[in-house]
Amino acid sequence: MDHRIWAVLGLAALAAACERAAEAPLRAEEPPAEEDTLQPALESIQEHVFGPHCLRCHSGTSAPQGLRLDDAGTSYANLVNVRSSQMPLQLRVAPGDPDASYLIDKLEGTQLLGTQMPQGAAPLPAEDIAVIREWITRGAPPPAMGESALLPARED
């Protein structure tokens, strides 16, 4: 065969391979987080769980047990490393240990005192609680807005 035919066939095969590669999806190690789905970050938990399910009771100065969840900074200050007023030997959120966190007990309905949260409503889906567990397992990091915006924690 003529060298020109081999060159044309080679270019055609290369073009076909490039076209297939361009159509193939890029493989990332972790899929990008979608902003409209619950993620294991306090800002997302605030938006998707605390906002729609908890704020009807846990906002303002009349919040039960002093547990205000008005915004991510307030939620962090009132949850992480703060003793539960119902179970003083247990932290509301024990960073790195969801099984020792009273918040998880309240959401799963395994607490010894009080009722399952959210009170007077259907329990949260197990998938949502799993995301909150993951946030706690990761050390319950504060919201990205920085520590200067966080309110001081209160023990009640």
Indicate whether 81 belongs to any domain.
Answer: yes
Look up the pTM and report it: 0.71
Mean pLDDT on 129-143: 98
**Residue 25's Cα: distance from chain center in Å?**
27
Q: What would you report as the CA-atom Rg of the chain, rounded to the nearest whole angstrom?
A: 25
Indicate whether 35 belongs to any domain.
Answer: no
First to last CA, the chain: 88
Q: What's the pLDDT tens digit per position in 95-116?
A: 999 999 999 999 999 988 889 9
The whole domain housing 138 covers 42-149
State percent of the chain over pLDDT 70: 70
The pair of structure tokens assigned to 154 is 């209160």
- The answer to whether the CB of 145 falls within 8 A of the CB of 77 is no
Indicate whether 14 belongs to any domain.
Answer: no
Domain count, the chain: 1
Indicate whether 95 belongs to any domain.
Answer: yes
Q: What's the pLDDT tens digit per position in 60-81?
A: 999 999 999 999 999 999 999 9
Region label for 134, one of left (φ > 0), alpha (ψ between -120 and 50) or beta (otherwise): alpha
